[in-house]
A and B are shown apart, each in its own frame.
Chain A
Amino acid sequence: MRMPLALAAAAALVAAAAAPLRAHHAFAAEFDGTKPVKLTGTVTKMEWINPHAWLHMDVKGTDGKVVAWMVEGGAPNALLRRGWNRRSVPPGTVVTVEGFRAKDGSTRASGGAVTLPDGTKLFIGASPDEGK
């Protein structure tokens, strides 16, 4: 990876700001950053559990078959502080979630942007960059 010094310096500032923000467990051991996934489906349950919340949703595939997915979010206390609450995604809400697939091939993902029916985006876990 070669980059001009000015760009490297800019990257340095970003990395320095990000460094202390790391949280509970290692993403890369569990999820595959090379396998992005975009899921549209119906929320069945928002599980407000520690250390990370999980959004459960039913996703209809191209074959018409409905598959249950689990999407990992941030810690409940962190989600509350960034604007989530119990009314954010009630069961039955149709949402689109962008994230990365579990490495074990199961229907689990690490969540990023969650787009609500009115177009509002909430970030459940991963970087906002992934929601763009």
Chain B
Amino acid sequence: MSDTASSRAVGAGRVLVVVYAILAIAATARSVLQIAREFDEAPVAYSLSALAGVVYLVATVALVGKGRTWYRVAWVAIVFELIGVLTVGTLSLVEPQLFQHASVWSVYGQGYLFIPLVLPVLGILWLRSHRPAAGES
């Protein structure tokens, strides 16, 4: 690895980046369609899907980016996702009328094979073990 490369998008971390990228594309594309087609039916669920999609995009870029700033951005994005999937997942079970239309995070990401629930946990473990080196700006 050259010294210009990111300290995080290496080895298993690259698999994480790829899974994030696929989820980001899937969630964003789907929410753009939903908002364009039937936003009035479920503004809350569809807005949340769009927000989730954007946060997945940010997380993907932040995992690839190098240096301390991207490291912090990655933390914020991934923790936000974990809170989002837990909150919306719980609400969609307790108060189903709020989320009659599918969002990425409904029932803890059931529609996406629970990947939205597993991914932030893996992301946090990865970030913990790959802090930026002391010299990295």
A, B from the same assembly: no
Interface residues of A (CB under 8 A from B): none
Interface residues of B (CB under 8 A from A): none
